């Protein structure tokens, strides 16, 4: 096996439409073991049509192609990048010297404005210049939210929790769909990687369309392993909130997006991660089933998801 195939890709239809209870159980075991080892896995047969993904990428690319002044109309000053547009040179990986080479947009969950979490979950912005952005963008948000719920159900079973454990912990989760544009790199001396080495904040991240080279995952031995998925595969990785909840049974793995060599750097790269978050008032408290004599609790104090998010956003200069 080459290093590029060491991170497994699994068929989630074995969980959602199993041929037998035994095969479903085997899928849960394989998925759980993949995440224990890597914190990353590829998911195929996920049920999201390729034309839906392609439509979304087309809409997002058209937005990023708009004039800079037009895009900046949707930048919320002081909003921490929670909704709308974030221009180049703002986000910085924790502890990094240089900012990342990217611009992005955030789509959040649509909730009633009288919802008890409305103060921390702002209303979405939608670019008037691209009328279909809302339906296409939020359609992809909902599809990835549903797929993420299936992955979480399997992960719950693997650590001895009920299959529906996460349902009422994420039903108004502060999840984010983030279309990203990494522009062509035109000078050889830019020190920045496209996205610096980092871990994700949330429960799990689903990355759709990670087909361009550049994503690298740090193995347990400290080796950077390239992970370029097939077009029909969604990459799903563990975030810090799930690592904390499971007392590091599921590790949140360091990853980065590196600049490709030579002419490849002169091509733009687009990427759309979905950051699946719990409800803002969910208390992240280490699960009893993940505490053993060999793995004593690393987090004696619980913290709300919102409190943890705010702490981390300050570290990456978005708050």
Using CB atoms within 10 A of its CB, is residue 96 exposed (0-12), middle (13-18) or buried (19+)?
Answer: middle
Please tell me the predicted confidence (pLDDT) of residue 271. 86
The pLDDT, as a whole number, for residue 162 is 97
pLDDT band per the 50, 70, 90 thresholds, residue 188: low
* CB proximity list for 87: less than 8 A, separation 6 or greater: 68, 71, 72, 75, 103
Q: Model confidence over 268-310: pLDDT tens digits? A: 778 899 999 999 999 999 999 999 999 999 999 999 999 998 8
Q: Dump pLDDT digits (tens) for 119-146.
A: 999 999 999 999 999 999 999 999 999 9
Residue % of the chain over a pLDDT of 90: 68
pLDDT given at position 193: 55
Query: CA–CA separation, 300 vs 213, rounded Å?
Result: 40
Is 168 within 8 Å of 278 (Cβ atoms)? Answer: no
* H/E segment holding residue 51: helix 50-64
Residue 42 confidence (pLDDT) above 60: yes
- Binned at pLDDT 50, 70 and 90, residue 265 comes out as low
pLDDT digits (tens, 9 = 90+) for 189-217: 654 555 678 889 999 999 987 555 678 89
Contact 155, 39 (CB under 8 A): no
Q: What is the pLDDT of residue 213?
A: 64
Contact of 279 with 174, CB cutoff 8 Å: yes
Q: Are strands 9-11 and 40-44 parallel, antiparallel or unpaired?
A: parallel
The whole-number pLDDT of residue 97 equals 47
* DSSP H or E segment with residue 127: none
Nearest-angstrom CA–CA distance, 238 and 202:
8
Is the per-residue pLDDT at 98 higher than 70? no
Tell me the average pLDDT of the chain.
88
More confident of the two residues 33 and 258: 33
Q: Rounded CA gap, 282 and 279, in Å?
A: 5
Which of 218, 264, 270 lies closest to 54, judged by CA?
A: 270
What's the confidence (pLDDT) of residue 3?
40
What pLDDT score does 4 carry? 41
pTM recorded for the entire structure: 0.90
Between CA 266 and CA 248 the distance in angstroms is 39
User: Comparing 94 with 70, which gets the higher pLDDT?
Assistant: 70
Q: What is the pLDDT of residues 99-125, one digit of tens each?
A: 457 899 999 999 999 999 999 999 999
Across 24-29, average pLDDT: 97
pLDDT in tens, 8-20: 999 999 999 999 9
Cα(8)–Cα(35) distance, rounded to whole angstroms? 9
What pLDDT sits at residue 26? Answer: 97
Map out the domains of the chain with their CATH numbers. 9-316 (2.60.120.330)
57, 62, 98, 137 from 68: Cα distances, Å: 19, 12, 22, 21
Pick the residue with more confidence: 210 or 53?
A: 53
State the Cα–Cα distance between residues 1 and 3, nearest whole angstrom: 7
């Amino acid at each position: 096996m080459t290093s590029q195939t060491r991170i497994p890709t699994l068929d989630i239809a074995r969980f959602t439409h199993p041929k037998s209870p035994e095969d479903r159980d085997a899928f849960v075991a394989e998925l759980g073991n993949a995440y224990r080892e890597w914190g990353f896995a590829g998911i195929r047969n996920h049920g999201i049509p390729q034309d839906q993904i392609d439509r979304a990428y087309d809409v997002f690319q058209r937005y990023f192609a708009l004039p800079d002044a037009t895009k900046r109309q949707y930048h919320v000053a002081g909003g921490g990048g929670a909704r709308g547009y974030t221009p180049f040179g703002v986000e910085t990986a924790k502890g990094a010297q240089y900012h990342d080479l990217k611009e992005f947009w955030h789509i959040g969950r649509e909730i009633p404005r009288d919802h008890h979490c409305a103060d921390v979950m702002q209303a979405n912005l939608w670019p008037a210049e691209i009328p279909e952005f809302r339906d296409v963008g939020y359609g992809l948000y909902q599809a990835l939210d549903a797929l993420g719920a299936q992955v979480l159900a399997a992960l719950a079973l693997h650590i001895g929790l009920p299959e529906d454990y996460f349902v009422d912990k994420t039903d108004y989760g502060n999840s984010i769909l983030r279309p990203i544009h990494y522009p062509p790199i035109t000078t050889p001396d830019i020190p920045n990687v496209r996205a610096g080495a980092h871990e994700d904040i949330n429960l799990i991240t689903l990355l759709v369309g990670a087909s361009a080279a550049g994503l690298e995952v740090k193995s347990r031995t400290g080796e950077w392993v390239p992970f370029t998925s097939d077009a029909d595969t969604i990459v799903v990785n563990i975030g810090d909130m799930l690592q904390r909840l499971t007392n590091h049974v599921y590790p949140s793995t360091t990853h980065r997006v590196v600049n490709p060599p030579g002419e490849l750097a002169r091509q733009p790269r687009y990427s759309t991660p979905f950051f699946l978050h719990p409800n803002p008032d969910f208390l992240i408290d280490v699960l009893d089933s993940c505490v053993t004599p060999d793995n004593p609790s690393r987090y004696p104090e619980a913290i709300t998801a919102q409190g943890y998010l705010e702490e981390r956003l300050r570290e990456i200069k978005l708050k």
